[in-house]
Structure 1
């Protein structure tokens, strides 16, 4: 009897591989100051966690999530959630994808917001993520393990079970969510970035949240800004060009 089914293994490992490949691309692109929201010096002087600490923290977080994935897939009987047929229409898969995006966003918005408003939870757990004042790509999943499980792992589980996705569709969804999360933290305003065209929730939008002026604003992630607008926590941003090169995201004046 195999320890883990092949599709379960892909669901566990592909988003992790995508994380390091995609964030690695951004690290290479970020070698130039031309499109950066924060300089290399900002990363060294403003951030309260070293890149070595971030690397270790992200790897631990991913190992923890991979373990949870294995446990959940082993405990979930095949008849508890039948796999979607391989002949599922594109429309059905797209509908499940959209439901997953909405569920994922909703959970993350309200938990993320509560983490900021509850002083104990913020100080003990969520403040880890905000040690990164000048965000960069591979710090996207740098969280306290408890925060990572509550905010991200539970969000993913709910999105998976509520949407009814197959494991193949789920692998694509979590890979996409991984890419989007990295993009939100990459710190680069690339002019050809399709995410900046398709989503209002982008690199500059989330960068505002990592600033002191936006710490209680722009909680939504990773896809839409809908909950921020509904709940009154939305703040618009402006991207201005710095004299010494690169850009800066600022809270827009009304």
Structure 2
């Protein structure tokens, strides 16, 4: 008799493996200056937290996410969506994925915007993430533990409202994890599919991490609709940087250099 791992456990732990595998690949590419949106020197000068501290912070957040998932599936049992049934059609799966993306984006936008608009919440919670003015791949989930808990709740709400099964959510949360890593990788890679299909990409989020963009580009991780609807959208251009690499800059003519 073979050993089977439940879908509920896989949806908790597969995204963690995906996070470190995918961010590890990007970490190797960071050594190539011609792909970077900021130079390595700029990263070292501007970021106020060590990579060792970031790794510990991410592991803490992943522990929180895993704990929420384990508690949820333990309490809900079969009612949590683990009852075996017919496999949904591709159309149904696509609708579930799109629904989850929209719900998660909505949760993330309004929580993210609140974290910036409230001086108290920014100072005591969200500013931890913005210690990385120059983002890099494995810093995508470097957040205050409370913010990590709120993110986990948002993921749970997305899962519930979409109606997807635990098995389908393995793919959804793995995809969302890859997107989060890519948004923070600080690399502008030719042919990157995330850049081809999503306006909300590495450069878009890099603008938000700069001082001039901290009140803009709150949307994460998929679409930019809430920024556009609510007037917090800051367009950007990609320019070649002196010395190699690229730079994301505000598209406004009256922009001020930071």
Confirm or deny a common fold (TM above 0.5): yes
Q: Which residue of 2 is the match for residue 45 of structure 1?
A: 45
Q: Which residue of 2 is the match for residue 6 of structure 1?
A: 6
Cα contact 2:198–2:223 (8 A) shared by 1: yes
* Alpha-carbon distance between aligned partners in 1 of 2:155 and 2:161, rounded to the nearest angstrom: 10
Residues 1:236 and 2:235 are matched in the alignment: yes
Q: SS of the residue aligned with 1:239?
A: strand
Q: Which residue of 1 is the match for residue 194 of structure 2?
A: 195
* Alpha-carbon distance between aligned partners in 1 of 2:47 and 2:207, rounded to the nearest angstrom: 15
Q: Which residue of 1 is the match for residue 95 of structure 2?
A: 95
Residues 1:166 and 2:170 are matched in the alignment: no
Q: Which residue of 2 is the match for residue 220 of structure 1?
A: 219
Q: SS of the residue aligned with 1:245?
A: coil
* Alpha-carbon distance between aligned partners in 1 of 2:82 and 2:248, rounded to the nearest angstrom: 46
Q: SS of the residue aligned with 2:85?
A: coil
Shift in CA distance, 224/84, structure 1 to aligned 2, threshold 3 Å: farther
Q: SS of the residue aligned with 2:226?
A: helix
Q: SS of the residue aligned with 1:238?
A: strand
Q: SS of the residue aligned with 1:76?
A: helix
Q: SS of the residue aligned with 2:239?
A: strand
Residues 1:75 and 2:79 are matched in the alignment: no
Q: Which residue of 2 is the match for residue 181 of structure 1?
A: 180
Q: Which residue of 1 is the match for residue 127 of structure 2?
A: 127
How much does 1:155 deviate? 1.2
How much does 1:80 deviate? 5.4
Residues 1:59 and 2:85 are matched in the alignment: no
* Alpha-carbon distance between aligned partners in 2 of 1:26 and 1:78, rounded to the nearest angstrom: 38
* Matches for 1:13-32 after TM superposition, within 5 Å: 13-32=13-32
Q: Deviations over 1:39-73 (max 9, x none)?
A: 11222111011000000000111111111111111
Q: CA RMSD in A?
A: 1.4
TM-score by length of structure 1 reads: 0.95
* Alpha-carbon distance between aligned partners in 2 of 1:41 and 1:222, rounded to the nearest angstrom: 27
How much does 1:83 deviate? 3.9
Q: SS of the residue aligned with 1:209?
A: helix
Q: SS of the residue aligned with 2:77?
A: coil
Cα contact 1:15–1:174 (8 A) shared by 2: yes
Q: Deviations over 1:178-216 (max 9, x none)?
A: 000010000000011011110000000000000001000
Matched residue count: 250
How much does 1:9 deviate? 1.0
Q: SS of the residue aligned with 2:57?
A: helix
